[in-house]
Structure 1
Amino acid sequence: MSLETTKNEYLDIGGVRFAYRRLGPTAGIPIVLLQHFTGTMDAWDPAVVNKLAETRPVIVFNNLGIGTSTGKTPDTVEQTATDAETFIRGLGLAKVDLLGFSLGGMLAQILAVQHPGLIRKIIIAGAAPRGGEEHLLAVVEEAFAQGAPDVRLPLFFTPSEESQRAGRAFVARATTRTQERDPDSGDEVSEPQAKAIIGWCARKDEGEATLRAIAQPTLIVHGSDDTMFPSINAYNMFKAMKNAQLILYPDSGHGALFQYRETFVTHCRTFLDA
């Protein structure tokens, strides 16, 4: 099964229904994917998810209020991470790896610190640390103003022809699924998530305490020209963490992991298997 064809499953916990999909083998430590600002399960790149699922269990899900999940979307990164932990434990998982993209990368940092027994390794793509540099609203507003056929083209990719070509290919892949497809997020998701991200970056972390408390092996991946969360965030995380590796992809923006999908998956596999 693939991201495009796998049936949606649902997990009910405390009156909230989480929607999720499982891919890959049943044996092994699962990698749980934590999605970006306003992103649903169908905002992931099938080329990345399906390739990861060739060798390990992969779980994608919608957090509270996202897509076909119920509940109210939180307006803090901390509560969003708590909800993710509730989902992971609700599946009965004792140990997981995390791939957090953008907002998801912020959740991964909190989960690694608060639940060291649950989280084995983390991959942080296109994110910022607590107190990091963000230009979320300005970049999103500028992207919409360009009138592109898909806002992710100016939002996730650089203006170069090569990057835009990769962006168009990504959009085509990400819109393939037609059955049980998640609805796009509206203001009820974007507004609290924007508040969460801005609040996370506005609150300085004295002594970089959160990053220094992360003991798990960490792979940090970033685009060289990410306008939403500049690449200095990736470098600062790398310098502060005890056991981190840093990869910057050239001529790439916020969606570097999708532009360099094959290279990214190779890097993930090498890191997770080490």
Structure 2
Amino acid sequence: MTYTHETAPTQYVEANGIRFAYRRFGKPGGMPLVFNQHYTGTMDYWDPAVTDGLAQSREVILFNNAGVSNSSGETPSSFQEMGANALAFIRALGLKQVDVLGISIGGFVAQEIALQGGDFVRKLILVGTGHRGNDMTASRSAEIFAGSYDPPEHLWLAVHFKPTETSRKAGLAFIERKLSRRDRDPEVSEQTVAAQGEAIGKWITPGENALDYLKSIKQPTLIVQGSDDAIIPTIHSLTLQQNLPNAQLIIYPDSGHGSIYQYPELFVAHARLFLGA
């Protein structure tokens, strides 16, 4: 049986004393691509148009990191620890090498996986994310997450999409796709929300040499961003591209934090080209 985003069973593996929940589907035999999720997200927050699109040419691995949703343990309060847990999970699957994708704070975790994993990580895709010590004064995240939404799911319209007609239309289509799976993960706990928030505070703390660590991420990196990201300002993706040793940047028009959900087919084409090169 060939599994998809909607039908892949939730499995579990133990590592670092944690029981990680994960789903694995797609074309076997190639380089697996491991996905790292955004703030308060679970495996069900990914866009099936992206995951199934990429699964046509490779194996896709979705997982909930420590303490998130149906994974055991507590969510740590630093992205360094989250990266270490993610690496332990990936190694527990018996994989020899992987590609890694991260969106938003999942991009922070993905950078840590690349730093700590070395050659175990072949290539990196960073979406709607930033670097350590990034200036978040232009971010509208506090305002957006404090807002009231009816239905509540429309929070993710405000997070991932621009308030233009075309972007909002794409956002409504994304939400419909996102809710297509019936066997869904539990939402994250208050402990996870608080720990992720604390980790964000540590990550964005200014430092004189905050960008130095990027020189140690030598994996080929594809950075993808929207033209006006309300959560992690778009300028930080340019800073990433200029400071990573081997990075390229794509900025999609009329789009925000969730640019890959607004342009899923285009992103899948770009990602497959990058990963296959």
Same fold (TM over 0.5): yes
Are 1:3 and 2:5 counterparts?
yes
State whether residues 37 and 104 of structure 2, in contact with CA within 8 Å, keep that contact through their aligned partners in structure 1: yes
Normalising by structure 1, we get a TM-score of: 0.95
Are 1:243 and 2:246 counterparts?
yes
State the shift of 1:135 in Å. Answer: 5.8
Are 1:25 and 2:27 counterparts?
yes
Partner of 1:129: 131
Q: Which of these residues, 50, 69, 72, is aligned with residue 70 of structure 1? A: 72
Distance in 1, Cα, partners of 2:268 & 2:161? 18
8-17 or 18-27: bigger deviation: 8-17
Distance in 1, Cα, partners of 2:37 & 2:164? 26
Question: AA paired with 2:169?
Answer: R
Partner of 2:220: 217
State the shift of 1:186 in Å. Answer: 3.3
State the shift of 1:117 in Å. Answer: 1.7
> What are structure 2's unaligned runs of at least 5 residues?
none
State the shift of 1:263 in Å. Answer: 0.6
Distance in 1, Cα, partners of 2:179 & 2:210? 42
Q: What secondary structure sits across from 1:104 in the alignment?
A: helix
Aligned pairs (5 A) from 1:4-153: 4-134=6-136, 139-149=141-151, 150-153=154-157
Per-residue CA deviation, residues 160-206 of structure 1 (Å, 9 max, x unaligned), is 01101111111111111112x10112322111101111210114261
Distance in 2, Cα, partners of 1:137 & 1:192? 20
Question: AA paired with 2:236?
Answer: N
Partner of 1:197: 200
> What are structure 1's unaligned runs of at least 5 residues?
none
Distance in 2, Cα, partners of 1:128 & 1:137? 12
Q: Which of these residues, 179, 191, 201, is aligned with residue 188 of structure 1? A: 191
State whether residues 144 and 151 of structure 1, in contact with CA within 8 Å, keep that contact through their aligned partners in structure 2: no
Are 1:160 and 2:164 counterparts?
yes
How well do the aligned residues superpose, as a CA RMSD in angstroms? 1.6
Are 1:174 and 2:167 counterparts?
no
Partner of 1:264: 267
Instruction: Report the CA distance shift for 1:136/1:108 in structure 2 as closer, same or farther (over 3 A).
Output: farther
Instruction: Report the CA distance shift for 1:23/1:135 in structure 2 as closer, same or farther (over 3 A).
Output: farther
State the shift of 1:133 in Å. Answer: 2.8
Q: What secondary structure sits across from 1:60 in the alignment?
A: strand
Instruction: Report the CA distance shift for 1:14/1:143 in structure 2 as closer, same or farther (over 3 A).
Output: closer
Q: How much identity, in percent, do the aligned residues show?
A: 44
Instruction: Report the CA distance shift for 1:81/1:211 in structure 2 as closer, same or farther (over 3 A).
Output: same
Distance in 2, Cα, partners of 1:112 & 1:103? 14
Normalising by structure 2, we get a TM-score of: 0.94
State whether residues 139 and 232 of structure 2, in contact with CA within 8 Å, keep that contact through their aligned partners in structure 1: no
Q: Which of these residues, 202, 211, 216, is aligned with residue 208 of structure 1? A: 211
Distance in 2, Cα, partners of 1:56 & 1:169? 25
State whether residues 135 and 206 of structure 2, in contact with CA within 8 Å, keep that contact through their aligned partners in structure 1: no
State the shift of 1:207 in Å. Answer: 6.4
Instruction: Report the CA distance shift for 1:186/1:135 in structure 2 as closer, same or farther (over 3 A).
Output: farther
State the shift of 1:140 in Å. Answer: 4.2
Per-residue CA deviation, residues 134-179 of structure 1 (Å, 9 max, x unaligned), is 3699524434425242210111100001101111111111111112
Question: AA paired with 1:183?
Answer: P
Instruction: Report the CA distance shift for 1:103/1:209 in structure 2 as closer, same or farther (over 3 A).
Output: same
Instruction: Report the CA distance shift for 1:264/1:161 in structure 2 as closer, same or farther (over 3 A).
Output: same
State whether residues 64 and 73 of structure 1, in contact with CA within 8 Å, keep that contact through their aligned partners in structure 2: yes
